[in-house]
């Protein structure tokens, strides 16, 4: 148990006072009834302090010196005599008060300790003894080491739209925890007429109360009363230790910043609306905040200068619409800008021409035009169209270029307007479609092999070549009459060989679905379920020779990386992975072969019953060191 007490000690031959008041702490140890008395150390007291009575059992004064002090003898307000010195108990700690109350001993309220005359006299003397050059330096090294490079960031605004030519300023407030400084940065929107990167307030300590511009030295901790020399280096000066006339200046701290708070930035009211993730964690950890709902901010439509779009004059018919628009937007005529990325990706790349070619017939009432044959070419690089006529003997028509390569607008549009016309796109080209090009109506009746393959490989752009969409369309149309449709075609296949004629299939589907299915979709369906045996253009060894030639030409040396990728996709080490996974790994390793050639290689690789690729056979197929084949000249393997 711990008690606070004091005792009075006589002071001999001391001017102004005759006694001392000395404060002590009395400890009563309940385990053995021992008592210890300690006096807290006071600087410059001039008397020995510390342990006054060591821990021991203390008897009562005579004539009760046979008994010892116990718990019942210690309480607030009581006086105990320990070895001839009387101690008056004035207070106890919280644990002692609770313990005594639990054992049934009432504990009175604390008693005030009388002041010590000597301490009062010393305080009066110290108030009059002020240094000539007081040190008011505040050590902030610890704060700097703890919070260096830690910044609180708030988002806010300053609404200045009530003033002339004012606007809504979007601001960022940065509070540096290392030295309690604040900087404010303004986010300038584009095309606002203001300089970008503007610093609204440079880093400094921000005053809470601002009335006018502060004078020089307003925040200096020293006030010089008199200077006895011409300078401060070797001269002597007096400093006002009482700081007479110095005003107390308050600065913004982290406790003053919060979402929704309004701070005074030298007369400008800045509203804080939100903060970043680090700031939220800091306030949640230090102040226990959990509500960081963003504050509503006004709209800035009226304060931001938006880019204006001026309408173009109507097209006058000279040149193309893009050429006329470029001349209207620029003082000096410039060439219209091309879609560089599209040209770079869709231009001719080796044997991949990116040109869709269709055989077309001219729809005309003139009998002589029925036998004319045309080739319509669509260039994917710039969406241009060219029409070429094949020369036939004894027709009276000279073949050659029928329509020069150019962009052709769709019919039925107003030409002489400010808006650009809509041109024919890749979705308009498929077998069976009719195109009206400059007054000539063409029916596309056939496409070459490259066009059909390209449209099937890029079926996401060409829905007429998407076999999934075609099957879903046919399934919905045949759903009511599916059994009848199957029975009719079983009669045409008495031998049950599972083959149907393309002409009969297209004719029947046309009768059922009408114009909802096109000839191009029928061609795609027939190509997907082709019953004819395809000629094997390349054997496995000849295909391996072509692949090795490409790998040598591009200096491919990533076989170890390819092997590691296969092992990563096969955690069970079964030696087999799916075809899609093998395709993705080869493409990810940047194998220098085309997609069609890679698919041809995967067709030649050994597969298990589940259709999975044996990647060990694939690695042996691609290994340049394992029985290298004879080099061959690369040929077009996409046909």
| Higher pLDDT, residue 630 or 552 | 552
| Higher pLDDT, residue 88 or 348 | 88
Q: What value does the mean pLDDT take over residues 383-412?
A: 89
**Secondary structure class of 437 (helix, strand, coil):** strand
Q: What is the pLDDT of residue 58?
A: 93
Residue 442 within any structural domain of the chain: yes
Q: What is the pLDDT of residue 363?
A: 92
Encode burial over 575-586: b for 16+ CB neighbours within 10 A, e otherwise: ebbeeebbbebb
pLDDT above 50 for 180: yes
Confidence band for 173, pLDDT divided at 50, 70 and 90: very high
Q: What is the pLDDT of residue 303?
A: 45
Count CB-CB contacts under 10 A for residue 102: 8
Confidence band for 636, pLDDT divided at 50, 70 and 90: very low
**Secondary structure class of 249 (helix, strand, coil):** coil
Percent helix, percent strand, percent coil in the chain, to nearest 5 = 30, 25, 50
Confidence band for 245, pLDDT divided at 50, 70 and 90: low
Give the integer Cα–Cα distance in Å for 389 and 403.
9
Q: Identify whether residues 393 and 478 lie together within a single domain.
A: no
Residue 318 within any structural domain of the chain: no
Q: Identify whether residues 437 and 471 lie together within a single domain.
A: no
pLDDT above 90 for 384: yes
Instruction: Output the domain CATH number for residue 200.
Output: 2.30.29.170
Q: Identify whether residues 109 and 8 lie together within a single domain.
A: yes
| Higher pLDDT, residue 34 or 638 | 34
Give the integer Cα–Cα distance in Å for 48 and 22.
11
Q: What value does the mean pLDDT take over residues 441-454?
A: 93
Of 245, 271, 286, which residue is a domain's last?
A: 286
Q: Identify whether residues 263 and 154 lie together within a single domain.
A: yes
Residue 6 within any structural domain of the chain: yes
Partner residues linked to 440 by β-bridges: 437
Range of the domain at 373: 349-457
Which range, of 162-171, 349-358, 496-505, 578-587, averages the lowest pLDDT? 496-505
Q: Identify whether residues 544 and 569 lie together within a single domain.
A: yes
Q: What is the pLDDT of residue 489?
A: 73
Count CB-CB contacts under 10 A for residue 263: 20
Of 91, 122, 153, which residue is a domain's last?
A: 122
Nearest C-alpha neighbor of 512 from the set 489, 485, 536: 485
pLDDT above 60 for 145: yes
Are 613 and 607 a contacting pair, CB within 8 Å? yes
Count CB-CB contacts under 10 A for residue 76: 21
Tell me the C-alpha to C-alpha distance, in Å, between residue 380 and each of 173, 397, 426: 51, 30, 7
Q: Identify whether residues 56 and 113 lie together within a single domain.
A: yes
Cβ neighbourhood burial of 84 (10 Å; 0-12, 13-18, 19+): exposed
Residue with token string 């231009």: 347
pLDDT tens digits, one per residue of 14-39: 888 889 899 999 999 999 999 999 99
The contacts of residue 41 (CB under 8 Å, 6+ apart) are: 49, 50
Residue 130 within any structural domain of the chain: no
Give the integer Cα–Cα distance in Å for 72 and 60.
13
Q: What is the pLDDT of residue 229?
A: 63
For the chain, the distance separating the N- and C-terminal CA atoms, rounded to the nearest angstrom, is 101
Q: What value does the mean pLDDT take over residues 160-184?
A: 91
Residue 197 within any structural domain of the chain: yes
Residue 471 within any structural domain of the chain: yes
Give the integer Cα–Cα distance in Å for 495 and 474.
26
pLDDT above 50 for 302: no
Confidence band for 638, pLDDT divided at 50, 70 and 90: very low
Confidence band for 356, pLDDT divided at 50, 70 and 90: very high
Output the DSSP codes for 570-635.
-TT--SEE-HHHHHHHHHHTT-SS-HHHHHHHHHHS-B-TT--EEHHHHHHHH-SSSS--------
pLDDT tens digits, one per residue of 456-483: 998 888 999 999 999 999 889 888 888 8
Residue 637 within any structural domain of the chain: no
Average pLDDT, the chain: 85
Are 110 and 90 a contacting pair, CB within 8 Å? yes
Dihedral angle sign, alpha carbons of residues 493, 499, 502, 508? positive
Q: What is the pLDDT of residue 627?
A: 67
Q: What value does the mean pLDDT take over residues 50-64?
A: 92
Partner residues linked to 226 by β-bridges: 238
Overall number of domains in the chain? 5
Q: Identify whether residues 280 and 148 lie together within a single domain.
A: yes
Q: What is the pLDDT of residue 604?
A: 85
Q: What is the pLDDT of residue 234?
A: 61
Confidence band for 445, pLDDT divided at 50, 70 and 90: very high
Strands 199-204 and 34-39: unpaired
pLDDT above 60 for 300: yes
Which range, of 60-69, 127-136, 149-158, averages the lowest pLDDT? 127-136
pLDDT tens digits, one per residue of 264-292: 999 899 999 999 999 999 999 999 999 99
Q: Identify whether residues 510 and 557 lie together within a single domain.
A: no
pLDDT above 60 for 531: yes
pLDDT above 50 for 420: yes
Give the integer Cα–Cα distance in Å for 10 and 15.
13
Of 73, 90, 122, which residue is a domain's last?
A: 122
Instruction: Output the domain CATH number for residue 575.
Output: 1.10.238.10
Give the integer Cα–Cα distance in Å for 83 and 62.
11
Q: Identify whether residues 99 and 191 lie together within a single domain.
A: no
Confidence band for 297, pLDDT divided at 50, 70 and 90: confident
User: How many percent of the chain have pLDDT more than 90?
Assistant: 41
Give the integer Cα–Cα distance in Å for 423 and 495.
51
Q: Identify whether residues 86 and 200 lie together within a single domain.
A: no
Residue 534 within any structural domain of the chain: no
Length of the chain: 639
Give the integer Cα–Cα distance in Å for 174 and 257.
11
pLDDT above 60 for 449: yes
Q: What value does the mean pLDDT take over residues 162-185?
A: 91
Q: What is the DSSP letter of 173?
A: E
Tell me the C-alpha to C-alpha distance, in Å, between residue 379 and each of 229, 407, 435: 92, 10, 16
Q: Identify whether residues 208 and 116 lie together within a single domain.
A: no
Q: Identify whether residues 517 and 610 lie together within a single domain.
A: no
């Amino acid at each position: 148990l711990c008690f606070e007490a004091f005792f009075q000690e006589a002071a001999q031959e001391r001017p102004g006072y005759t006694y001392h008041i000395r404060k002590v702490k009395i400890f009563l140890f309940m385990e053995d009834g021992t008592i210890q008395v300690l006096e807290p150390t006071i600087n410059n007291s001039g008397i020995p302090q510390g342990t006054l009575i060591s821990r021991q059992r203390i008897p009562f004064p005579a004539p009760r010196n046979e008994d010892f002090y116990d718990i019942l003898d210690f309480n607030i307000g009581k006086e105990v005599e320990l070895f001839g010195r009387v101690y008056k108990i004035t207070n106890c700690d919280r644990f002692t008060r609770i313990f005594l109350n639990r054992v049934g001993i009432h504990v009175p309220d604390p008693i005030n300790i009388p002041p010590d005359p000597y301490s009062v006299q010393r305080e009066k003397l110290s108030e009059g003894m002020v240094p000539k050059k007081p040190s008011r330096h505040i050590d902030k090294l610890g704060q700097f080491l703890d919070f260096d490079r830690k910044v609180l960031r708030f988002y806010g605004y300053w609404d200045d739209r009530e003033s002339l030519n004012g606007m809504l300023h979007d601001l960022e407030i940065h509070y540096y925890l290392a030295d309690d400084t604040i900087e404010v940065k303004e986010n300038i929107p584009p095309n606002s007429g203001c300089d970008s990167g503007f610093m609204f307030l440079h880093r400094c300590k921000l005053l809470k109360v601002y009335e006018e511009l502060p004078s020089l030295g307003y925040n200096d901790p020293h006030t010089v009363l008199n200077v006895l020399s011409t300078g401060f280096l070797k001269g002597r000066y007096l400093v006002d230790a009482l700081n007479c006339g110095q005003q107390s200046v308050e600065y913004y701290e982290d406790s003053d910043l919060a979402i929704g708070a309004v701070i005074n930035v030298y007369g400008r009211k800045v509203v804080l609306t939100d903060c970043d993730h680090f700031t939220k964690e800091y306030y949640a950890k230090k102040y226990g905040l959990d509500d960081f709902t963003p504050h509503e901010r006004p709209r800035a439509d009226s304060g931001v200068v938006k880019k204006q779009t001026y309408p173009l004059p109507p097209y006058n018919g000279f040149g193309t619409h893009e050429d006329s628009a470029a001349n209207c937007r620029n003082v000096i005529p410039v060439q219209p800008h091309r879609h560089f990325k599209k040209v770079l990706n869709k231009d001719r790349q080796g044997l991949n021409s990116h040109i869709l070619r269709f055989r077309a017939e001219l729809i005309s009432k003139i009998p002589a035009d029925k036998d004319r044959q045309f080739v319509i070419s669509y260039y994917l690089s710039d969406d241009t169209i060219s029409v070429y006529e094949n020369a036939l003997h004894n027709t009276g028509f000279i073949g050659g270029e029928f329509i020069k390569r150019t962009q052709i607008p769709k019919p039925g549009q107003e030409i002489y307007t400010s808006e650009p016309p809509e041109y024919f796109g890749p979705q308009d080209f498929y077998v069976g479609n009719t195109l009206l090009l400059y007054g000539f109506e063409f029916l596309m009746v056939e496409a070459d092999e490259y066009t059909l393959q390209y449209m099937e490989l890029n079926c996401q752009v060409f829905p007429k070549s998407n076999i999934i969409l075609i099957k879903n369309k046919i399934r919905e149309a045949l759903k009511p009459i599916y059994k009848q449709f199957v029975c009719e075609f079983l009669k045409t296949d008495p031998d049950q060989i599972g083959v149907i004629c393309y002409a009969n299939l297209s004719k029947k589907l046309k009768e059922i679905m009408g114009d909802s299915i096109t000839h191009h979709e029928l061609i795609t369906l027939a190509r997907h379920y082709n019953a004819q045996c395809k000629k094997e253009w390349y054997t496995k060894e000849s295909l391996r020779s072509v692949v090795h030639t490409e790998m040598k030409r591009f200096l491919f040396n990533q076989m170890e990386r390819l092997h590691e990728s296969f092992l990563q996709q096969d955690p069970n080490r079964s030696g087999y992975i799916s075809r899609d996974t093998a395709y993705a790994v080869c493409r990810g390793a940047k194998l220098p072969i085309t997609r069609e050639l890679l698919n041809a290689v995967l067709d030649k690789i050994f597969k298990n019953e589940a259709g999975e690729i044996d990647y060990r056979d694939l690695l042996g197929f691609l290994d340049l060191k394992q029985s290298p084949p004879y080099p061959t000249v690369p040929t077009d393997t996409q046909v």
